[in-house]
Structure 1
Amino acid sequence: MRRRTYLLLVYVLDVVYHVGLGVALGLAVVIYAIHQLADRI
């Protein structure tokens, strides 16, 4: 039972990490695009 809980915890952390990474990457791209547009105006 304890092993199953541990595996679940690892899985949840893995998902949270990947989602966070995706969000951070998306934000970086959006911020970069805004800067590129701001330079043209």
Structure 2
Amino acid sequence: MTLQQIRLFGDPVLRRTAEPVTAFDRELRTLVKQLTATMRAGSG
């Protein structure tokens, strides 16, 4: 599974407005799994 980059406080990307979720599809489910794996790998 691909891990995502962990963004730390102060990273400008954290100030961007996210796009609205219009469908909980396969792509979003995959992203959620990747983010969960990243969180667990980062002890957090």
TM range (shorter): 0.3 to 0.5
Computing the radius of gyration from Cα coordinates, the structure with the larger value is: 1
Q: Scaled by the length of structure 2, what TM-score is found?
A: 0.43
